Structure formats: C-alpha cells, structure tokens
Amino acid sequence: MLNPELKLNPKLFNPDVEQVPIRKGFGQGLLAAGEVDKNVVGLCADLTESTQMNLFAEKFPERFIEMGVAEQNLAATASGMAAMGKIPFISSYAMFSPGRNWEQIRTTICYNDRPVKIAGSHAGVSVGPDGGTHQAIEDIAITRVIPNMQVISPCDAIEAKKATLAIAKTKFPTYLRLVREKTPIITTEETSFEIGKAQVYWIPDVGLAQVGIVATGALLYKALLAAKELEAEGIKVKVMNLPSIKPIDSEALIILAKETKAIVTVEEHQVAGGMGSAVAEVLSQNYPVPIEFIGVHDKFGQSGTPDELVEHYGMGKDSIKDAVRKVLKRKS
Amino acid sequence: MILTQEKILDLEKKANDIRISLIESLIEAKSGHTAGPLGMADIFTLFYFHILKHDPKNPSWPERDRLVLSNGHICPVLYSTMAHAGYFPVEELKTLRKFGTRLQGHPHREYLPYVETSSGPLGLGLSQAVGMALADRMDNGVGTDRYIYCFMSDGEHDEGNTWEAMMLAGKNKLRNLIAVVDRNNIQIDGFTENIMPLEPLADKWRAFGWHVIEVSGHDFNALNEAVEEAQGVYEKPSVIIAHTIPGKGVKEFERDYHWHGTPPGSGPEDKIKKDKQGEVALAELRTLGGKIKSEHQ
C-alpha cells in the first residue's frame, strides 16, 4: 500500500490520475524562488517557454538573460554572475546542458564552486518523437561524477517545484533533471522533500518486504504500478523514491537492503553510471546484495511515443516485475 | 588616471622585478609557461599598480574591480604580480606547481581565493567576465563605476566559446566590460596566422559590437591612454588589442613559439644550452639587457 505517512496522491492508481509535465513544476518553482530571493536570476538558451523559464522571465524581465543557442556561454556566463552574488538558474534541454557544455560546467561552475543551478529539460527517452539526438540518457552519469555537484531528479511536477525552491537555497552547483511529457502526479503539497533524503513510498500491507525497488524520476510511477500488482501476486516489495542522487541517502538504502536483501533500481537513463550505479556503489561497500538494473542498456534512443520507447528499452511495469522476480531468485 | 614620467619609471622597474620573480619561480618549478608571462608582465604591472581598484590587504573587498585571467596558463605572471602587490609573500612564488602549493599550475580559487576565477581551459574567461558585468549592471545600473577586465590570449580565439561571449557582450552593450587581448601571435603549435588565422582581428571584434583599440603592450603611456579611452566609451564594451612580444625581456626567448609552454632549462637549444637558460635569462633581466651592471645599480 502507499505509505500513509507521506500523504501521497490518493488518486494515484485511478485511470484518470492527474498528469502534469515535471518541467512545469520547475517553472512554478523558479517563479516562487525569484519572489523569495532577488538574487535569483534566469538564463536560457533559446528554449524559454519549452523549459518553462518563461514564467520567471515574464515576471522578472530585468533578471532574465536570453542567451541565444549558446549553451557553453550559458554555463560560463552564469558562473560569472554567481561570482557577483547571484543565484543563476540556467535552462536548456539536458542533451545540450549539461551535455554540450559539460566542460564549462566542470571548470567554471564546479571547480569554481559557484551556486549555479542547471535545469536540464527533456531528459530520458520519453522525449519521444524528436528521436535519439534529443533524448538525454547519459546526463546523470556526467553530472554526478563532478565534485561539488548535487544531482536531483524529481518524480513529478509537485516534487520538481519543491526541489527548485530547495536548491535555490543551497550554495552548491546543482543539476536538476526534468522531463518533457505529462507524467502522473504522485506526491501532494504535504509530502516532504529534502535534498539528500530518500523515502519509501510503497510498503507491504503486512510483514517485511522481499525486494526493495529504488526508483528516480517519472518511472517511479511504473514502479508503484508494478508493486501493486506484485502485492496481489503475493510478492511483497518496498518502493523507494530517490530524487536526490547526489548527495545520496546511504543510510536509507542500507536499511532497505538489510530488510529485503535484494534490490531493483529503476531509472530512465543508461544503466552505466546512472542512479543504479550510485546505489550499487553504496551497497557494495556497506551491505552487498543482488541488484537488478532497469534502464537503457548501452543503446541510443529513437523516435516513438513515450510509452512505446519506455517499453522498447525495457523500463515498463512488466520489465520491473520481471526484474523483481529475477532478483528474488538470485537471493537464495 | 594620469601617468607621470616618474610613475612610468617606477612601473618599468616593477615590471622587471616581476619578470625576475616569475623566471625564478619557473626555474624552481621545472615546468610551466615562459613566453606569455614575460610578454604580459608590463600589462599586469600597469593594472595592479595603477589601474585596478583593489586592496591586497582586503582581497574580498566587495567594491573592487574584477580582473578575470582567461588564459590561466600565464599564471606565473599573475602570481608574481600579486606577490609584488602584497597579496602574499614573494618567497611563496618558489612553491609554484609543487604539491601542497597555493600556486597551482593553473589558478584554482579553492587554493588561492584571491584569484577571481579558476582558469586554464581556454575560451572560458570572457563568458565569466560578461556574467560579472551583467550582474554588476543589474545591481548598480548602467552608470556603474566598477570595471570588469578580462585578460585573454590571441590563441584562445580558436575556441567557439570566445565568440559566443563576444556576441552576448555586444548585444548587451556592456560598457563596464573591458577585454585585453595578448596579441603575441604565437600558440603551442606555432604562429597563430599559420595554425588558425585570426586577422583581421580588430574588424572581427568591431563586427561583434565592440569598441576596438590597438596599442603596444609594452608602452605604459599608450596602454594607460587605451584603458582611459575604453572607460570613456558608453555605448558598447571595449577591447584593447595589445601587441606584445612573447618572451619580452630575454632576447633569446623573444618571438619564439617554442618558449610558449617551456620553462628555462627545458627550452630550445639553438641560442642557449638548456643548463644555462635560467642563468642567462636572470642575468639579462637583472642587468636590463646589459644596460646596467647589476640590479643593485
């Protein structure tokens, strides 16, 4: 059942569950952050509406810089603004920022330790028809590897808004991973969010869980659907939402591993270097258990509908259920 | 600011001391860049001892001007100038590039917070300076009396990021931004015009919306007037293209691109044998190229 303490969306399993793009939550969060702190500034590389920075740009035109299609300059200019006390949010598609401008992010933002917030929209294969060039599935790997950087991947628009407000208050460079398509609303305004914290969203009705599923981003919804069906089939699982990939909640992961002794990670990203790898780094050193990884296995994306692509690359509900059954067998 | 003849003599002496110190630090380090630092010594001296609004005893003074060094590999001259200006002891220059030093091979703010930016990878400084100028204008308006200076190399015009930054500054008419290009015509693989031609460089900057001033990089009076002219331009950012001599001050090193990334002791041997390169360079600088018998004269 859904963890009652976390006040999640009670209509989550309804067929007509409300769906909102995660990037919308960023747009609202940035507007709110701008109202709280006059040092918050926005810079965008010719995708202001698409990344939802338009809400901020319309309200605070004097604090918004249109950069044109120049993501390298986007990152380095933001670093200079941060050097003067600003809290810059930069936005583009994840493939171009932090994709195209990775070295600018490393040198001018992270090496300088400047509090620039990098909002990368259109992450994952669920970008859909635009095809593989625009589907960032390497972004978690290339950002979490940089010292000083935080990496946050919200599961829905409400969590994205909270995350945007939270990262505006920290002094760390931060990558915020956003998704284009509408995805189900999982949390509510009452659900807590904290950088560095993971929470268990699904718990067995009674008894201990046999498998722990750790999910990040919108695929958390598929993991919850899988958990509900597995429960009906007699397999008890816990589903953890892990929005904060760096810093990672090692303590919560170790507790989950100790209870379940088998883990499945779920992310819309390459298996290599992503959230699952981060989880494996923690558990292999502290409490080694079998892990199955749901994600893209060393392939590029392609055109299609989001659902077709999620299924094709083995990240849908049934793939998650299969992975749970597989890891259960590996336990003994 | 007016530059008197007396002040010019003082700056010339200071620049020579800075050259001597940077050569000493490179000899000690046994690696690092020689040509660029020697070529830019006069410009660094003019800025740190005459132009910049700064306070070495209070490096984080919020009202200070900002000087961004984009081509971080010439940091021996930055470190030497900062030491002579009083940011840290001149003796510390001997730690250049050694384990545990504040004077990293390329500047890092975490180790030496007095530098405005970490740098080294080329083509990134102008963007950061543009960001600083934009932020300053947001806070203090278009009439701000603070200047953001960006020292950059000619070779780093090969980087696309440089041109992105030039476009953004031109678009935003950043009158508080002044770039200084070290036009020494060399880069690692050879002469800039052979590696990737930059000319007509001044026309290119003009086309991007900048006010362009060309000047000798070794004439204190002309450089000072160029900065004053740049500060007086209201409607656009300015660039001072400073024509410098790489290796300036040691005639055997001058204009030879082989000295770009090589310290005395490891350079080309056509004029001086490796084991004599440090000694000859210091002797030349200490005697002002033979004009005086010793630095004590």
Q: How far apart are CA B70 and CA B219, in angstroms?
A: 22
- The answer on A312 and A213 residing in a single domain is yes
CB–CB of B138 and A107 under 8 A? no
Q: What is the pLDDT along chain B (297 residues), one digit of tens a residue?
A: 889 999 999 999 999 999 999 999 999 999 999 999 999 999 999 999 999 999 999 999 999 999 999 999 999 999 999 999 999 999 999 999 999 999 999 999 999 999 999 999 999 999 999 999 999 999 999 999 999 999 999 999 999 999 999 999 999 999 999 999 999 999 999 999 999 999 999 999 999 999 999 999 999 999 999 999 999 999 999 999 999 999 999 999 999 999 999 999 999 999 999 999 999 999 999 998 777 777 655
In terms of Cα–Cα distance, which of A197, A203, A216 is closest to A22? A216
Computed over its alpha carbons, how large is the radius of gyration of chain A?
19
In this complex, the residue of A80, A85, A103 whose CB is nearest that of residue B129 is: A80
Q: What percentage of chain A exceeds 90 in pLDDT?
A: 99
Q: Which CATH number is A305's domain given?
A: 3.40.50.920
- pLDDT, position B297: 54
Give A105-118 pLDDT, tens digit per residue: 999 999 999 999 99
A104 contacts in chain B (CB < 8 Å): 124, 127, 161
- Per-residue exposure over B68-95, b if at least 16 CB sit within 10 Å of its own CB, e if not: bbbbbbbbbbbbbbbbbbebbebebbbb
Q: What percentage of chain A exceeds 70 in pLDDT?
A: 100
CB–CB of A85 and B66 under 8 A? no
- The answer on A62 and A169 residing in a single domain is yes
- pLDDT, position B289: 77
B168 contacts in chain A (CB < 8 Å): 67-68, 70, 73, 77
Q: Which CATH number is A124's domain given?
A: 3.40.50.970
The nearest CA of chain B is from the CA of A84 a distance in Å of 6
B68 touches chain A (CB under 8 A): yes
Structure tokens at A290: 């079998």
Give A137-188 pLDDT, tens digit per residue: 999 999 999 999 999 999 999 999 999 999 999 999 999 999 999 999 999 9
Q: Is ipTM > 0.90 here?
A: yes
- The answer on A145 and A207 residing in a single domain is no
A68 contacts in chain B (CB < 8 Å): 164, 167-168
Structure tokens at A88: 């810059």
Closest residue on chain B to A69 (Cα): B164
Give B76-132 pLDDT, tens digit per residue: 999 999 999 999 999 999 999 999 999 999 999 999 999 999 999 999 999 999 999
Residue A81 sits at φ, ψ, to 5 deg, of: -65, -40
Closest residue on chain B to A116 (Cα): B131
Structure tokens at B251: 């005639």
In this complex, the residue of B129, B133, B161 whose CB is nearest that of residue A72 is: B161
Candidates A5, A18, A71, A308; catalytic one: A71
In this complex, the residue of A62, A88, A104 whose CB is nearest that of residue B124 is: A104
User: Cα dihedral sign for A110, B168, A83, B101?
Assistant: positive
CB–CB of B168 and A41 under 8 A? no
Is A262 contained in some domain?
yes
Is B295 contained in some domain?
no
Q: Of A159, A184, A209, which one is at a domain's C-terminal end? A: A184
Degrees (nearest 5) of the Cα angle A233, A234, A238? 105
CB–CB of A111 and B167 under 8 A? no
The nearest CA of chain A is from the CA of B96 a distance in Å of 19
B130 contacts in chain A (CB < 8 Å): 73, 77, 80
CA B170 from centroid of its chain's CA atoms: 23
What mean pLDDT comes out for the span A58-65? 98
- The answer on A201 and A134 residing in a single domain is no
- The answer on A124 and A242 residing in a single domain is no
The nearest CA of chain B is from the CA of A46 a distance in Å of 13
Q: How far apart are CA A218 and CA B109, in angstroms?
A: 38
Cβ count within 10 A of residue B2? 7
Q: Which domain holds residue A129?
A: 19-184
Q: How far apart are CA A204 and CA B253, in angstroms?
A: 76
Beta bridge partners of A136: A123
Q: Residue B95 half-sphere exposure, CB side, CA atoms within 13 Å?
A: 15
B290 touches chain A (CB under 8 A): no
Is B23 contained in some domain?
yes
- The answer on A104 and A88 residing in a single domain is yes
Give A215-260 pLDDT, tens digit per residue: 999 999 999 999 999 999 999 999 999 999 999 999 999 999 999 9
CA B43 from centroid of its chain's CA atoms: 6
Interstrand relation of A182-184 and A19-21 (parallel, antiparallel or unpaired): antiparallel
Is B222 contained in some domain?
yes
Average per-residue pLDDT for chain A: 97
Residue A47 sits at φ, ψ, to 5 deg, of: -140, 40
Residue A71 bears catalytic tag? yes
- Strand intervals (E) in B58-193: 66-69, 148-153, 177-183, 186-187, 190-191
In terms of Cα–Cα distance, which of B124, B173, B175 is closest to B152? B124
Q: Which CATH number is B276's domain given?
A: 3.40.50.970
Residue B239 sits at φ, ψ, to 5 deg, of: -125, 135
CB–CB of B128 and A83 under 8 A? yes
- The answer on A153 and A131 residing in a single domain is yes
Give A77-113 pLDDT, tens digit per residue: 999 999 999 999 999 999 999 999 999 999 999 999 9
Count of domains forming chain B = 1
Q: How far apart are CA A195 and CA B27, in angstroms?
A: 48
- pLDDT, position A228: 98
Give A40-54 pLDDT, tens digit per residue: 999 999 999 999 999
In this complex, the residue of B133, B164, B172 whose CB is nearest that of residue A70 is: B164
Is A203 contained in some domain?
yes
Non-local CB neighbours of B45 within 8 Å, separated by 6+ positions: B11, B14, B15, B18, B81
Structure tokens at A48: 């202001």
Q: Quick one: angle between helices B160-171 and B125-140, nearest 10? A: 20
Structure tokens at B282: 């210091």
Judge if the upstream peptide bond of residue A247 is cis by omega within 30 degrees of 0.
yes
Q: Of A184, A202, A231, which one is at a domain's C-terminal end? A: A184
- The answer on A280 and A202 residing in a single domain is yes
- The answer on A215 and A106 residing in a single domain is no
CB–CB of B130 and A85 under 8 A? no
Is A13 contained in some domain?
no
- The answer on A125 and A36 residing in a single domain is yes
Q: What does DSSP assign to residue B158? A: G
Count of domains forming chain A = 2
CB–CB of B134 and A81 under 8 A? yes
Q: Which domain holds residue B152?
A: 5-286
Residue A319: which H helix or E strand, with range?
helix A317-331
Beta bridge partners of B190: B187
- The answer on A326 and A177 residing in a single domain is no
Do A184 and A223 meet the contact criterion of CB atoms below 8 Å apart? no
Is A82 contained in some domain?
yes
CA distances from B195 to B35, B64, B156, B191 (A): 17, 38, 12, 6
Closest residue on chain A to B140 (Cα): A84
- The answer on A257 and A122 residing in a single domain is no
Q: Quick one: angle between helices A71-83 and B160-171, nearest 10? A: 60
CB–CB of B108 and A111 under 8 A? yes
A81 contacts in chain B (CB < 8 Å): 131-132, 134-135
CB–CB of B68 and A80 under 8 A? yes
